[in-house]
Chains A and B, each alone.
Chain A
Amino acid sequence: MSTANRRRLSIGEAFAPRLIFGETLVELGEAYPRLVVLDADVGASTQTALFRDAYPNRFYQIGIAEANMVGIAAGLSTQGWIPFVSTFAIFLTKRAGDQVRNTIAYPRANVKLNGAYGGLPTGRAGASHSSIEDIAVMRAVPHMPVIVPADPVETRAAVEAVMRIPGPVYLRTVRCPVPVIFGEHEPFEFGKAKLIHDGDDAVIISTGMMTPKALQAAGKLGKQYGIRTAVIHMGTVKPLDIEAVIAASERYGHILTVENHSVIGGLGDAVAAAVSEHAPCRVTKLGFQDVFLESGDDEALFSRYGMNVDQIVERVREIAQGKGRRE
């Protein structure tokens, strides 16, 4: 694969994962001559337009018809093509949810799914476009892996990894710029948690774009409050790295989960289920509380729902001080 001209991703700089996704697809187009990309009119937003321009014969513009797109991808996969279906996560996982389940997952079609615009950042589109339950839906589909990269580096590595995983995979990417936290050659290990910041006093288990926020929060907690906070990143929400969760439970006794997703059925519930079965401890879930999101500026909205860096800091402080515990 030609990577000579690939974009440099330096720690601290921010890039939109959607852009990295689009650029990585173009790189993979050379390495995988059977890679085809399907779009439902949002390629200019999800950046699959880059692949369209590079490989027009391997790009299928289906129109605004997500159900048909998923079915066509299934058919293409029977002929040895490896379709990457990309559209907004909300429509891919809900509008075409039955198609993904019955026509991709059940037949084990080698179709890769990119749920773009995961969670809150939708470019001021509001409730109808905020996919806050796609992880829950995809987790519940039998055998469907769910990958939620943290930053631009991991997004690139995850897209490459998705191609190596046989069968369907759900990849969740986001729209807004996200700071680079990993060194450029950091590998993506499917199904493995990653300790990205260590500390003895508290633990955050996070996924996706909330991991850079959690990392920032851990820095503040150490500097301002002397609370040494571990951050464990779950780049794979399913299958969950249960060993890492058990270890966190046994070491800290109280876990804070942070995700750009509803608290219902996402990472928090996956972690809570794992600890309740194997190593019971308290789990506090930070995410969207059974609500439809409003429209507005991304960061203002994260604050509105209690999920900015300072709010994460506050939640960890409460946990470290033993507040909110039912005695």
Chain B
Amino acid sequence: MMDSLANSGKGGVQGAPPDAEKPLGAEKALDAEKALDAEKALDAEKALDARLDAIFSRGPLPAVTSKLSLEQRIEQLERIALELRYTILAVTEAAGAGHTGGSLSMAELITVLYFYLLNVDPADPAKVDRDRFILSKGHTTPGYYSALALRGYFAADVLRTFDQIGSPLQAHPDMHKCPGVDYSTGSLGQGLSIGIGMAMGGAAAGRNFRTVVLLGDGELQEGQVWEAAMYAGNRPVRRLIAILDYNKVQLAAATAETLNLEPLADKWKAFNWQVLECQGNDISSCLPVMEQAFALAENGPVIVAAHTVKGKGVSFMENTHIWHGKAPDRRELLAAFAELDAAKKSGRSGAGIMVEDQVRGIGGTSQ
């Protein structure tokens, strides 16, 4: 599909000198080939449009219930994370803008939160005792909004307005415009402080909700994060959970090349935080660890360092800063979808290598 699109309009035959003398018959054959390619390309375009229409008109997915076995929960959450990846790519392609790499890296983390761990109700987004979520890495709204739409906070077709003038889906989340957003973010390094205030303010008001802050790794270079870390560990602030999308890549380079965060766990431990680690693109790893974090947060703040891959699920987007703030074009979207399709066929979540088939037990999402 990708090849036919890529070659359409280029004459189909590679390497043929444009001005070479050709017999009449060969000319006709070339025309026929051209026409065939053009037809294929048109079909591919139509097929892609149909897929995008399906993505932007789909209904919400139900949350995963704790009544299921661990294996079933993992399988269902993987399936949702895969849908999330299709949606993220569709959203950024439609807008021609958006932070694709960091949205893909957090797909499993936000899936586990919104479809399993968080006590939230899309029908009542202002429910007083709901768990709170702050996207401190506010630029990865394609991941956030896609999860909120899939969970049913708003219709999927609203995603088509992402980053457009007048849209509730601003480039960075706006709590007054987008249903389900608990706080407006965008300027990096500020989410943890807001989360501390929410957690302490909720406790002081006699509420028992948990506050979850999703941090990016690059933003840990901001001093305010460490002001907040020192404060939360010192008090200690309870029912506060930080999830670090540790994808090792920031805007212009690898995090380690820019300003290395390591030894990271030691830093948080020294600030009196409980530190857990997991493979953040592997539901079978991050689900139990995040669940454990929610339990430990009763005693004091917890951070889960979730090791992830930037651009996870699309080979040409993985482990590179190139896709930090870039959207795929139509051709790249087709190629990315093809990779997700292959992952889906093989029963994987799009996170590929992380998932052991035997762990998933009931056969994954294979068709």
Contact = CB atoms under 8 A, between A and B. Distances in A.
Contacts of A98: 187
Of A70, A75, A79, most B-chain CB atoms within 10 Å: A75
Interface string A172-210: 000000000000000000000000000000000000000
Contact of A67 (B182, B193, B202, B205): B193
A68 interface: yes
Interface in A51-78: 57, 60, 62-63, 65, 67-78
Contact of B197 (A63, A65, A73): A73
B183 A68 contact: no
A81 B190 contact: no
Interface string B188-204: 01101111111111101
Contacts of B198: 75-76, 78-79
Interface majority SS on B: helix, strand, loop or mixed?
A: helix
B186 interface: yes
A72 B202 CA distance: 12
B224 A76 contact: no
B205 A79 contact: yes
Interface majority SS on A: helix, strand, loop or mixed?
A: helix
Nearest to B186: A102
Nearest to A66: B227
A106 interface: yes
B187 A75 contact: no
B227 A68 contact: yes
Contacts of B201: 75-81
A83 B192 CA distance: 18
B223 interface: yes
Contacts of B205: 79-81
A77 B197 contact: yes
Given A65-B231, A71-B197, A72-B231, A79 B202 contact: yes
A60 B228 CA distance: 14
Interface string B140-162: 00000000000000000000000
Interface of B: 132, 174-176, 182-184, 186-187, 189-190, 192-202, 204-205, 207, 211, 223-224, 227-228, 230-231
Given A60-B200, A78-B198, 6 more contacts: A62-B231, A68-B193, A103-B193, A103-B194, A107-B176, A108-B176
7 contacts: A75-B183, A76-B198, A77-B201, A81-B204, A102-B190, A103-B184, A103-B190
